[in-house]
Amino acid sequence: MIGTIQHNAASRRQRIATILVAIAWAAATLWDYRAFDLRIFDGMALILLVGFLLIAAEPLQGFLLRRRDGWLLFATVAGYAAIGFALHGHRSSLAIILLAAISFALIGRRDWLADSRLFQWLLIAHIVFFIIQFLGFYLLKEVIDFQAFMGANSRLNQRIYQIRAAGLFQEPNSYSLNIFVLGTIVALQRANFMLIVLAAGTMTLSESVWGMGAAVVLLFLHALVRYQSPAQMIKGLVIFGLVIGVVFNAYLWLTKQPQEAIPYFYTRVLGVTSDPSTQDRYLRNGCLPEEQAAATKVSAATSAQSWILGEGLSTRFFTECLPANGLSFLLKSFGIAGLVALLAGFALALRGLPPGSTLYAALAIGFSFTTYPLVTYVIFWLWLPAIIGLLHRHNSDPDPANVTEA
């Protein structure tokens, strides 16, 4: 009798814990909503994750042993974030330490990784909101701005005859990044290949230049997991790529105005080096003269030290003429020595995985840093241990009966 009661109580706690994680994931995908300049859904996700760790507490004995492959990665992040706070006093460094600590707690366990249905439904939901906004403009001639519910305005860059839809997000690049994160999980779980194609298609239709690149990478990652031979992988990529390319080009030419020689998107791609968004993200030529003057006054020794040792983890750098992309951010924060330690920690966390799985993790996580980094967002620190954990699960239990094939 006592055993039955204890079993029922444990089962109830596990169900509650599972629900908390599912809601936390859903909230984390809404990171672009803000109130009083705070990401309110990130705060909700953080509270739910703490609740999960308390309700589904694991034994302290062996805690570090179960995370022995992840300690270098997270110790490097936490150490450089502590240095960043000491040097710059910016709250982003403290946020990174807190989020990395929760991520470190999650990476040593598998019970928090929901089945594929959760991520499929999250991906479907975001795509549906994108389609509603997209079709609402062309069928109803209305700009449906979901950000307006929170008193914000999306940067959809709509023209009189065309819209760059972003779904629940403020801009197409943010939508694409969110879809890329969710898509890499769905692709890894081999849950629904048509959903991956649809995700890549909507990223392309958003007309985000980064989103187009992300769509190609997502399709490649899906093919890397789905197909057994290089020939099958190439065939699948060509077919899916052609379908998306034909649909996208048809859309561009159908919405082109008579006075335009080529669609506006092509004009933007051809002039990408002079595009304000591209310059801000990768060149940052918009610094004020006094900021540029201050940067040139740094001594050669100080500059060399910064390049070698880094300056600590802090998003404050983005106010100091740093291009708004993650690769510049990593080099500025970690320096060469820190990056070596970071990559060594990442390789250690992937220890034991075959080359294909290592490539999957490196390309998925690495490519996300080619746009603005999500290091102070809850979703990144959920995504990192999820990708690593699912890859280890995938390779320790590759039985096709355990996954849902499309």
Average pLDDT over residues 134-155: 85
DSSP 8-state symbol, 282: I
SS3 content of the chain, % helix, strand, coil (to 5): 70, 0, 30
pLDDT of residue 320: 79
Give 398 or 155, the one with higher predicted confidence.
155
Instruction: Specify whether the CB–CB gap between 212 and 204 falls below 8 A.
Output: yes
Instruction: Specify whether the CB–CB gap between 348 and 73 falls below 8 A.
Output: yes
Q: Is the pLDDT of residue 155 over 90?
A: no
Lowest-pLDDT choice from 215-224, 264-273, 363-372, 389-398: 264-273
Domain boundary among 242, 258, 274: 274
Inside any domain, residue 131: yes
Instruction: Specify whether the CB–CB gap between 165 and 133 falls below 8 A.
Output: yes
pLDDT of residue 158: 57
Q: Is the pLDDT of residue 401 over 50?
A: no
Q: Is the pLDDT of residue 403 over 70?
A: no
Average pLDDT over residues 305-328: 88
Same domain, 210 and 139: yes
Inside any domain, residue 315: no
Helix (H, G, I), strand (E, B) or coil at 35: strand
Work out the percent of the chain whose per-residue pLDDT is above 70. 87
Give the pair of three-digit tokens for residue 83. 């240095």
Q: Which of 52, 49, 45, 10 shows the shortest CA–CA distance to 28?
A: 45
Same domain, 179 and 248: yes
Same domain, 125 and 269: yes
What's this model's pTM, rounded to 2 decimal places?
0.90
Inside any domain, residue 142: yes
Lowest-pLDDT choice from 11-20, 97-106, 206-215, 249-258: 249-258
Q: Is the pLDDT of residue 345 over 50?
A: yes
Give 282 or 175, the one with higher predicted confidence.
175
Domain that holds residue 138: 116-274
Q: Which of 325, 119, 319, 375 shows the shortest CA–CA distance to 213?
A: 325
pLDDT of residue 27: 97
CA of 27: how far to CAs of 45, 104, 203, in Å? 6, 20, 21
pLDDT of residue 57: 87
Q: What is the pLDDT confidence band of residue 404, given thresholds at 50, 70 and 90? A: very low
Query: Number of folded domains in the chain?
Result: 2
Domain boundary among 274, 304, 338: 274
Question: Is residue 295 within a helix (H) or strand (E), and if so which, with residue range?
Answer: helix 289-296
Same domain, 177 and 259: yes
Give 263 or 176, the one with higher predicted confidence.
176
Rounded to whole angstroms, the Cα distance separating 20 from 374 reads 22
Q: What is the pLDDT confidence band of residue 399, given thresholds at 50, 70 and 90? A: very low
Instruction: Specify whether the CB–CB gap between 236 and 226 falls below 8 A.
Output: yes
Rounded to whole angstroms, the Cα distance separating 362 from 139 reads 41
Q: Is 221 exposed, middle or buried (0-12, 13-18, 19+ CB in 10 A)?
A: buried
Inside any domain, residue 387: no
Q: Is the pLDDT of residue 185 over 90?
A: yes
Inside any domain, residue 265: yes
Average pLDDT over residues 312-332: 90
Same domain, 44 and 181: no
- Residue 308: how many CA atoms within 13 Å on its side-chain side? 6
pLDDT of residue 245: 86
- Which stretches of 116-229 are DSSP H helices? 116-140, 172-188, 193-205, 209-226
The segment with the largest mean pLDDT, out of 13-17, 147-151, 158-162, is 13-17
Rounded to whole angstroms, the Cα distance separating 189 from 339 reads 30
Predicted confidence (pLDDT) per residue in 50-95, tens digit:
999 999 888 888 899 999 999 999 999 999 999 999 999 999 999 9
Inside any domain, residue 227: yes
pLDDT of residue 187: 92
Average pLDDT over residues 383-389: 95
pLDDT of residue 405: 35
